[in-house]
Amino acid sequence: MSEFRVSFSQLESFITQAMVSLGLPPEDAKTVGHLMAEADMQGSDGHGVIRLVPYAKRILAGGMNLKPNIRVVQERTAMALIDGDNGMGHLVMKRATELAIQKAKSSGIAWVGSRLSNHAGPASLYARMALQHDMIGLYFAVGNANHLPPWGGLDMLLSTNPIAAAIPSGKEVPIVLDMATTVAAYGKVKAKAQRGEMMPEGWMIDRQGKPLLDPTKSDEGFLLPIGGYKGYGLSLVVGILAGTLNGAAMGSQVIDFNKDFVSTTNTGQAIAVIDPAAFGDIDDFKQNIDRLIQELRTAERMPGVDRIWLPGEQSHHKRLDHETHGVVLAPGLVKQLNELAAERQIAPLQFL
């Protein structure tokens, strides 16, 4: 087969079983399975089930705490700092986001940072959680490997350091921005390699400044920041807010979790939640967002442009397609997942 398709429930069940076999408590495994499958459903294929085998390697190497004491170590009315105790990042950030939402309900705005966390999947996964409460979610993180030098340099001291924002709407699809501070997230480079595809020019360059197109040779170069030096500055600031502010790894302290499966990554993340109802009527706000979306979508288009898209619309359409037809998995990834299933003695993925 050139491609394999799986339903959300099949994917969620498989990941959950794999996590239980690796030693996660069943409830935690279910949470991780749900969030990882959600990543694939929304089209974040570089951050979903493709990460299962690397997670398993880290867990089996003893690099992650399977029964962490995730706890608040600093707290005020509208903020908190969570210590993840080297647990799965999905568990840490779900806890952080739930706390931020709770605080924002009374304070109007809340900021919750984390340290000693781990990779937690796509940024928008957590920003979107605020939408269920008609709130705005903002997410920041330090990437789990440095693939970006300071502007004009060669030493890898910064990462993709992603940002996400989710803004509720009325009848329109919510605005959801999910972006790395590099032209492409490294997860997309991994996905290209998994599918045997080349990268487009502009994602990476080698150490001589020439375009790097082969994703299997990504170690020979580095990612390019968005907007040149502006993207470099943005990556730095996001890293400070999500990492340094929380006492998490930043700069040369960042562990490359693609190569080192043992060392504690001390990943830093942050979630901010804003309640628009603290600023005025929530229905008025959502109607104004709808109006703005409609204005942008119906703006005069350049020749050859069929449609103006809003951030999050294409992800929404991918979700609808995946709900109907299933998530597409590359043959190379399926082979890895089948091997993992055999090693962990669990049922392999079932396909549609």
Q: Do 96 and 238 fall within a single domain?
A: yes
| Phi, psi of 168, rounded to the nearest 5 degrees | -70, 150
**Domain stops at, among 282, 298, 314:** 298
How far is the CA of 201 from the CAs of 116, 174, 194, 213, 346, in angstroms? 35, 31, 18, 6, 41
Q: What's the pLDDT score for residue 273? A: 98
- Per-residue pLDDT band for 194 (boundaries 50, 70, 90) equals confident
Average pLDDT, the chain: 96
How far is the CA of 208 from the CAs of 57, 157, 190, 220, in angstroms? 33, 18, 22, 10
- Find the CATH number of the domain harbouring 96: 3.30.1370.60
Q: Do 141 and 289 fall within a single domain?
A: yes
Is 35 a domain residue? yes
Look-up of token digits 């990943």: 267
Torsion angle of alpha carbons 244, 249, 250, 256, nearest 10°?
A: -160
Tell me the pLDDT tens digit for each residue of 215-256: 999 999 999 999 999 999 999 999 999 999 999 999 999 999
Q: Do 39 and 96 fall within a single domain?
A: no
Q: What's the pLDDT score for residue 288? A: 98
Helix H or strand E encompassing 163: strand 163-167
Q: CA end-to-end span of the chain, whole Å?
A: 12
Is 332 a domain residue? yes
Q: Do 90 and 170 fall within a single domain?
A: yes
Q: Do 39 and 70 fall within a single domain?
A: no
Number of residues written out for the chain:
352
Helix ranges restricted to H, the chain? 8-22, 26-41, 52-60, 89-107, 124-127, 186-195, 229-242, 282-297, 313-325, 331-344
Is 70 a domain residue? yes
Q: How many structural domains compose the chain?
A: 2
| Lowest mean pLDDT across 139-153, 182-196, 310-324 | 182-196
Is 198 a residue whose pLDDT tops 80?
yes
Q: Do 230 and 159 fall within a single domain?
A: yes
- Say if residue 223 is exposed, middle or buried (CB neighbours under 10 Å; 0-12, 13-18, 19+): buried
Is 188 a domain residue? no
Is 147 a domain residue? yes
How far is the CA of 215 from the CAs of 7, 115, 184, 201, 218, in angstroms? 28, 30, 12, 11, 5
Q: Do 273 and 124 fall within a single domain?
A: yes
**Domain stops at, among 298, 316, 338:** 298
Give the three-class secondary structure for 168.
coil
Is 210 a domain residue? no
Q: Do 127 and 174 fall within a single domain?
A: yes
Is 211 a domain residue? no
Q: What's the pLDDT score for residue 4? A: 93
Tell me the pLDDT tens digit for each residue of 279-297: 999 999 999 999 999 999 9
- Per-residue pLDDT band for 195 (boundaries 50, 70, 90) equals confident
Is 2 a residue whose pLDDT tops 80?
no
Task: Give the orientation angle of helix 89-107 with respect to helix 26-41, to 10 degrees.
Answer: 80
- Per-residue pLDDT band for 185 (boundaries 50, 70, 90) equals confident
Mean pLDDT of 23-37: 98
CA atoms within 13 A on the CB side of 177: 13
Q: What's the pLDDT score for residue 1? A: 60
**Domain stops at, among 279, 298, 317:** 298
Is 268 a domain residue? yes
Q: What's the gap between Cα 323 and its chain centre? A: 20
Is 64 a residue whose pLDDT tops 90?
yes
Q: What's the pLDDT score for residue 222? A: 94
Q: Do 49 and 70 fall within a single domain?
A: no
- Find the CATH number of the domain harbouring 27: 1.10.1530.10
Asked if residue 84 lies in contact with residue 70, where contact means CB atoms within 8 angstroms, the answer is yes
Closest among 79, 137, 87, 143 to 116, alpha carbons compared = 87
Full domain range(s) for residue 90: 65-182+225-298
Q: Do 71 and 42 fall within a single domain?
A: no
| Lowest mean pLDDT across 18-32, 189-203, 299-313 | 189-203
Q: What's the pLDDT score for residue 310? A: 98
Q: Do 249 and 338 fall within a single domain?
A: no
Tell me the pLDDT tens digit for each residue of 223-232: 999 999 999 9
Give the three-class secondary structure for 110.
strand
Q: Do 39 and 77 fall within a single domain?
A: no
Task: Give the orientation angle of helix 8-22 with respect to helix 52-60, to 10 degrees.
Answer: 10
Contacts of 39 (CB under 8 A, 6+ apart): 45, 47, 48, 121, 122, 125
Structure letter (DSSP) for residue 70? -
